[in-house]
Amino acid sequence: MRVLIAGVGNVLRGDDGFGVEVLRLLKQEAGGATGLTFYESGIAGIGLVQQLLDGYDALILLDALDRRAEPGTVFVLEPDVAGLSAPGRAREPVDLHQADPEAVLRLAAALGALPRRVWVVGCQAACDELGAGLSEPVLRAVPAAMRQVQNLLTTLQAAARGTDGSV
């Protein structure tokens, strides 16, 4: 099983660097784990789409989100992969220099590069001030996000072994 874990965001804009920070720590923890690829996409979506062209069984995107929740709230979202490639969605414009995760997923789906399983592990941002680091609530959410990623990886591994039919 090949899994791409991608950190999205701008480390120079406060909480927008959440995904990159979680990615960095996960990569440190994983050591040389087989089947995992860690990719920092920053804010340029085209690089992530190009990485997906290598072919993966699953994608876990790490990103700061605005879901109008309490800052530091961690979300695990599973986008509708089939809906991303629905007729008409591919015609929506995508800015390849600053593509948000949904736009990247739509483009990857249109190219046939989107894995069958996709999750977004995100955190409600508090600020995106230029030059600021992660805010306290978002910094405190990093370990929870890492646990969510580990849970997803455990579920994927169990499904690959055939011990869990839920994936």
Q: Could you tell me the two tokens for 80?
A: 């509708």
pLDDT band at 3; cut points 50, 70, 90: very high
Helix (H, G, I), strand (E, B) or coil at 71: coil
Pairing of strands 74-77, 117-124: antiparallel
- pLDDT the model gives residue 142: 98
CA angle 19, 59, 150 (to 5 degrees): 65
Residue 20 has pLDDT above 90, yes or no: yes
pLDDT tens for each residue of 39-75: 998 887 888 999 999 999 999 999 999 999 999 999 9
pLDDT score for 144: 98
Asked whether 144 and 131 are in contact (CB, 8 A), the reply is no
Residues in CB range of 23: below 8 A, 6 or more apart = 5, 6, 7, 38, 39, 40, 62
Residues of the chain with pLDDT > 70, as a percent, come to 88
Superfamily of domain 3-161: HybD-like (3.40.50.1450)
pLDDT digits (tens, 9 = 90+) for 84-121: 766 665 556 666 555 677 888 988 998 999 999 999 99
Residue percentage of the chain with pLDDT more than 90: 63
pLDDT at 82: 81
Place of tokens 């990485």: 51
Averaged pLDDT score across all residues of the chain: 88
